[in-house]
Amino acid sequence: MDSVPGESGYCSTTGIYRSPLVPPLELPSVSLPHFLLFSTPAPPTKPAFVDAVSGDSLSYAELHSLTAAAASALSSAGLRRGDLALLVSPNSIHYPVLALAVLSLGAVLSTANPLLTHSELQTQVRDSEPVLIIAAVELIRKLDGLLPSRPLIPFEAFLASLPREVDPPLPDVDVGPGDPATVMYSSGTTGKSKGVVSTHGNLTAMASLLRRVWGGDARRDDVYACVVPLSHMFGFSVLVCGTLASGATTVVLRRYAVGQLLTAVEQHRVTRLPAVPPVVVQMARSCRAGSAGGRDLRSLKEVICSGAPIAREHLERFVECFPGTTLSQVKSHVLMHCSYADRRITIGWSSSNYNNNNYNHHHPARATHAQQNGVFSRWTTGITSNISHPKKELNSQVERNVRCVSLQESSYNQVVVNGGRSNKIRRQIICSNQLHYCCAHLLGMRMGECYGLTETSGPITVCDGVKGRFHVSIGRLIPTMEARIADVRTGKALPPNQHGELCVRGPLVMQGT
């Protein structure tokens, strides 16, 4: 296979990029419940899910037994392979039990946000055509009449009726990677909300990838806090699939309240928190106002923020209140991760004119002169950023404001840095390994990106950091994924350094909508 410099995995004959990362990801050939329940590195007695308020918990062994019991009961209620069941409930430690029970029967799981209106739920029910609905008791009235000829099962009463057997078998149903697993609805930001069909293969591949990216068994001691809805793909993929595959513990808040969250972090020694911007802002405000109540929150290592950009003043307030916490942001399908040695952080997001169809994964485009104060921002034509460190004497060694960083068009070993203070801009050319040294050794900072879509069940590129290299790009394709840049008019593959439409294929791509 002919390839371009830099181990891109590019084939000049076909125009296809393949992952150069090794070892390749070994994809499970089993159903998602089988993979999560039988392949976890966690011991059976370890808590899988813990209620943040009551302290009630489900061990990995109890999760297994309740899932099997729930599957048997749902089968008795008429749920069969290929049927669709709708789950409408706030977060609960038993939410994964019902989800995995449905999937273990070969049925399809659809979820709905409990905050949806009656009309919105009616639209989703008409579109997905469930054969039964499982709903929290407080939502029964809202769902009344939506499915008059089908069962409406109360969530809590159903769970209370399940027998507590020891290690019952899962249903003997032939469910494979190609079978549909979930229909989760998009947010509808660019049009009508659509149900995205993901297969067991999509989700097991994503869970396997998360376990690998998170460091495998090294994450078994992590404790995650769940404040995002498990009815959304972000919550379900990270806080059910990812955490179970890694053998971690998830502390579940039924409804979000900043005081309860901070208490949960302290009481359960939470280490990682997937969140949305309002949560980050409220955490910082609570701390600033003194309402953190003297809590010991030093266990929190990382907050992963998704959904929208955060104003600079909120970021600064957060790092002031939580100096031992890394803040990472996922925005517009892009993750930019930076961590200082003392966890002071500057965050990044896609700029408004970023087009995800026009970015070459291996060859970062030329630098833009656009100035984005205080953010990392990946454009079609480059990356802008602001880097500062709480130890002011270190700032002069890398420029206090690094405004624009990209690989030079003429050399893959050069980095162009436009930096300066206020309106005084200076231009400097340094080697990429020197920039890496400044970031990693002087600032104690690691920088990396990954890129993914809801339709790909997670990231499809990662910055792997092989041999300590630092590249200003969104990384390289993960194992098993392929990509090409196509001409938007002809559909033909384009060579490197050309703008076009990004096309990907592989086991993470959804089945359809």
Least confident span in 58-67, 71-80, 223-232, 453-462: 453-462
pLDDT at 129: 94
> Per the domain annotation, does 475 fall within a domain?
no
- Higher local confidence (pLDDT), 458 or 387: 458
Exposed, middle or buried, 376 (CB in 10 Å: 0-12/13-18/19+)?
buried
Residues sharing a CB contact under 8 Å with residue 276, sequence separation 6 or more, in sequence order: 228, 305, 306, 307, 308
Residues forming a β-bridge with 226: 252
Write down the H helix ranges in 214-297: 233-236, 243-246, 258-268, 277-288
Query: Does the pLDDT value for residue 475 go beyond 80?
Result: no
> Per the domain annotation, does 129 fall within a domain?
yes
Least confident span in 110-114, 171-175, 237-241, 302-306: 302-306
> Per the domain annotation, does 289 fall within a domain?
no
> Per the domain annotation, does 83 fall within a domain?
yes
pLDDT above 90 covers what percent of the chain? 35
Read off the pTM. 0.71
Sheet holding 402-407, edge to edge: 377-379, 382-384, 402-407, 414-421, 424-431
pLDDT at 329: 54
328-354 pLDDT per residue, tens: 655 333 222 222 222 222 222 222 222
> What average pLDDT score do residues 165-172 get?
82
- Higher local confidence (pLDDT), 318 or 94: 94
> First-to-last CA distance in the chain?
35
> What does each C-alpha distance from 414 to 8, 43, 465, 471, 472 come to in angstroms?
18, 48, 17, 10, 11
pLDDT at 337: 29
> What average pLDDT score do residues 197-216 get?
85
Residue type, 287: C
- Higher local confidence (pLDDT), 15 or 307: 15
Q: Residue 78 belongs to a domain with what CATH number?
A: 3.40.50.12780
Q: How confident is the model at residue 462 (pLDDT cuts 50, 70, 90)?
A: low
> Per the domain annotation, does 340 fall within a domain?
no
> Per the domain annotation, does 144 fall within a domain?
yes
- Higher local confidence (pLDDT), 111 or 166: 111
Query: Does the pLDDT value for residue 404 go beyond 60?
Result: no
Q: Which domain holds residue 67?
A: 32-199
Chain centre to alpha carbon of residue 282: 21
pLDDT at 431: 36
pLDDT at 290: 63
**Conformation bin of residue 106: beta by default, left when phi > 0, alpha when psi is -120 to 50:** left
Residues forming a β-bridge with 461: 451, 477
Residues forming a β-bridge with 315: none
pLDDT at 28: 84
- pLDDT, the chain, mean: 72
- Higher local confidence (pLDDT), 196 or 428: 196
Query: Does the pLDDT value for residue 106 go beyond 80?
Result: yes
> Per the domain annotation, does 353 fall within a domain?
no
> Per the domain annotation, does 249 fall within a domain?
no
The count of structural domains within the chain is 1
Query: Does the pLDDT value for residue 109 go beyond 80?
Result: yes
Query: Does the pLDDT value for residue 408 go beyond 90?
Result: no
Q: How confident is the model at residue 358 (pLDDT cuts 50, 70, 90)?
A: very low
Q: How confident is the model at residue 59 (pLDDT cuts 50, 70, 90)?
A: very high
Query: Does the pLDDT value for residue 130 go beyond 80?
Result: yes
pLDDT at 412: 27
Least confident span in 2-16, 69-83, 394-408, 461-475: 394-408
Q: What SS3 state is found at 224? A: strand
pLDDT at 50: 99
Residues forming a β-bridge with 462: 450, 476
Query: Does the pLDDT value for residue 294 go beyond 70?
Result: yes
pLDDT at 496: 83
- Higher local confidence (pLDDT), 130 or 401: 130
Most confident of 68-72, 201-205, 474-478: 68-72
pLDDT at 7: 54
- Higher local confidence (pLDDT), 119 or 393: 119
Q: How confident is the model at residue 23 (pLDDT cuts 50, 70, 90)?
A: low
Most confident of 206-215, 283-292, 493-502: 493-502
